[in-house]
Structure 1
């Protein structure tokens, strides 16, 4: 059962001991309810249900107002353990999940979204949760599966599995999380990642556009920022979901206000808030600055701070490389401008040159045009110089590069 734990993740000693001993009483197995929140998921709901049908004892589906054939698809599957409840959508995912908690029969709950599916057919979920049932802090713990998006990105900290009790509830109208409810507020439960894999394809560009998820999410996050304006969780999701629609000035203002201990002092390693969301917030700001091609010196200093927060993350080398690529592109653009100017002023034949009509210069212009994204214009140049340079090693090398590029993109 050691394969249940992920590599390079620190676990409580007790969890490692429970998993390594792998001792359970098969006569007293736990029972599990899978809970699904859905709306208009006719294309994915059957796949989701089939992936967990033989892993759990009950499947509770909360439909929040489907107008497609989602309900018909579920009913036509004719699975006895499936229970469907239909409610009105009240602009809160936490509310829908908590409604599901009220309807589940069994103590262990596994939340899975309709656009997700479990991929391990051999997974013995009952045995796993029976083992975890022995964990002394189980009633204050959520367990997180690996969630792999369509683009291959993997998340390991989204709590989905826990033992139902009156203290664990969902909180947040969107990007909701499990919290421990207290008389005077909330605590965050312990979160333990497990090597249980869910595939997820609900955030592809096509689906985001079709379901208008960005605007929906942004409106709901704004509500959460009113409730908890200093919570970096909501600030992070606001910036992440709105990165493509918020301008640089807005992202800068929010970033400086949220993660700098004393904003007037500006960015430095000693002036950064110690919080799990500081890193991703700063990363979004850097990304936006790079896209805006502004203040390269400042961007490099921000990357240094980002790297100091998490030295093992590859974002720093990615951003530095992108900056270098941008510098090279600017240099290439200047070279192209010089070549165009030279070619404009030198149209007469130059006998004794590599090519008397200047096709060697035209070849370079085509090359830089392609590198800078002017594909159609570049191809015209390449076609024009196609009969030139077969006996010149330097020219042949460039033409081979050009042919390889054209074979891929044209």
Structure 2
């Protein structure tokens, strides 16, 4: 098939996915893939009925008991596939109509290349309705390599050995669309409470793995209290100085930096601006004194406390032009958060018309402090 030296299998994990499974399967059947396997872990809705309607298209069903671990579920799917390229496509995702040919062509060119057995590929995942694109989540690799997943939730691939090693990662110009973060979907499937339960278990099993602390901050922000937020960030700081070996491509320092930004959002809404300023000092230390994210949180604090200056506006404009600095932003590498900041400062020290003129040129920004680039009032 198109010169492929090994087959390509699309794996779709499911559990109660009647809302979106048809769309997912329609995006991959008849697109030249060797196998399409739905791995179901206990659906009680119409998921299995939907799969049955696709068996004449070659879609296969494998049913497994839910192991209470996404990592174990994916590893079981890898064993089912056995060999060749495996492409994990979640049920709430669908392959862009132009991407199937690109995907098969890319895999054909990579088959047999040096170190392909430790290579993972990250498609472009576009989150519909959130204007967010993720390009660093590994989803594609060889099933007969030593790559397996680690973790009950927010699982990550490692090269299994006596000590797990980080995998190699390459970006792939192939688009997966995703709508699973739509708030109605999150609420219906109780994703947040499920994730936090699994993360608590992961933290007990691996207390020195910074990934589980970071995702606890991220997923639990709306439920964590003030002390819990600070304790988690403190623990991450300690781990960032120890550099534990977890087989993760990302370091404890990386997770600490990201957690600080998320914690600043939560602490700001709680009104604890003094801790926000302290965490901003940490961000500046990590980014060697020039963190656009630290500037963002300090400026938001000034806006809410009525202290806005021309120099603050000029500094924000200067940072907005620093593409290299912004590319490492945890908040938004596209710089929309700084655009919203410029709009708010213009409104305070210039005029509403100046602010609206600039806002019209920018993509809107929404977070804990802004709604469509308008500063929230509390």
Whole-Å Cα distance in 2 between the matches of residues 301 and 26 of structure 1?
57
Question: In structure 1, what is the equivalent of residue 192 of structure 2?
Answer: 214
Whole-Å Cα distance in 2 between the matches of residues 274 and 65 of structure 1?
35
1:290-349 CA-to-partner distances (Å, cap 9, x unmatched) read 1111143x423422432453589753343234223311399xxxxxxxxxxxxxxxxxxx
Q: 1:178 to 1:133 in 2, by over 3 A?
A: same
In the alignment, structure 1 segments of 5+ residues that lack a partner are 1-24, 264-272, 331-396, 398-410
In the alignment, structure 2 segments of 5+ residues that lack a partner are 242-250, 309-352, 354-378
Whole-Å Cα distance in 1 between the matches of residues 307 and 51 of structure 2?
53
The alignment covers a number of residue pairs equal to 298
Structure 2 residue 136 is the aligned partner of structure 1 residue 157: yes
CA contact (8 A) 1:33 1:105 kept: no
Where 2:39 maps in the other structure, the secondary structure is strand
Whole-Å Cα distance in 2 between the matches of residues 195 and 294 of structure 1?
42
Q: 1:45 to 1:28 in 2, by over 3 A?
A: closer
How far 1:121 moved relative to its partner?
2.0
CA contact (8 A) 1:167 1:181 kept: yes
CA contact (8 A) 1:230 1:258 kept: no
Q: For 1:322, which of 281, 300, 304 is the aligned residue?
A: 300
Q: 1:309 to 1:145 in 2, by over 3 A?
A: farther
Structure 2 residue 202 is the aligned partner of structure 1 residue 224: yes
Q: 1:126 to 1:30 in 2, by over 3 A?
A: farther
| RMSD value, Cα | 2.8
Aligned 1:353-364 pairs, distance under 5 A: none
Where 2:22 maps in the other structure, the secondary structure is helix
Q: For 2:266, which of 276, 288, 294 is the aligned residue?
A: 288
Structure 2 residue 167 is the aligned partner of structure 1 residue 179: no
CA contact (8 A) 1:31 1:126 kept: no
Structure 2 residue 17 is the aligned partner of structure 1 residue 41: yes
Q: Which has the larger radius of gyration?
A: 1
CA contact (8 A) 1:303 1:320 kept: yes
Aligned 1:85-164 pairs, distance under 5 A: 85-104=62-81, 106-122=83-99, 123-150=101-128, 151-164=130-143
1:96-149 CA-to-partner distances (Å, cap 9, x unmatched) read 111111111541000010001111425332210111224312111211112122
Question: In structure 2, what is the equivalent of residue 188 of structure 1?
Answer: 166
CA contact (8 A) 2:239 2:252 kept: no
Q: For 2:8, which of 25, 32, 46 is the aligned residue?
A: 32
How far 1:26 moved relative to its partner?
5.0
CA contact (8 A) 2:88 2:139 kept: yes
CA contact (8 A) 1:60 1:103 kept: no
CA contact (8 A) 1:41 1:114 kept: yes
Q: With structure 2 as the length reference, what TM-score do the two structures score? A: 0.72
Where 1:36 maps in the other structure, the secondary structure is strand
Q: With structure 1 as the length reference, what TM-score do the two structures score? A: 0.67
How far 1:278 moved relative to its partner?
1.8
1:192-230 CA-to-partner distances (Å, cap 9, x unmatched) read 222221111112221111111111111111111112111
Whole-Å Cα distance in 2 between the matches of residues 169 and 281 of structure 1?
26
Question: In structure 2, what is the equivalent of residue 361 of structure 1?
Answer: none
How far 1:260 moved relative to its partner?
3.9
Whole-Å Cα distance in 1 between the matches of residues 61 and 235 of structure 2?
45
CA contact (8 A) 1:36 1:113 kept: yes
Q: 1:317 to 1:140 in 2, by over 3 A?
A: same
Whole-Å Cα distance in 2 between the matches of residues 262 and 143 of structure 1?
27
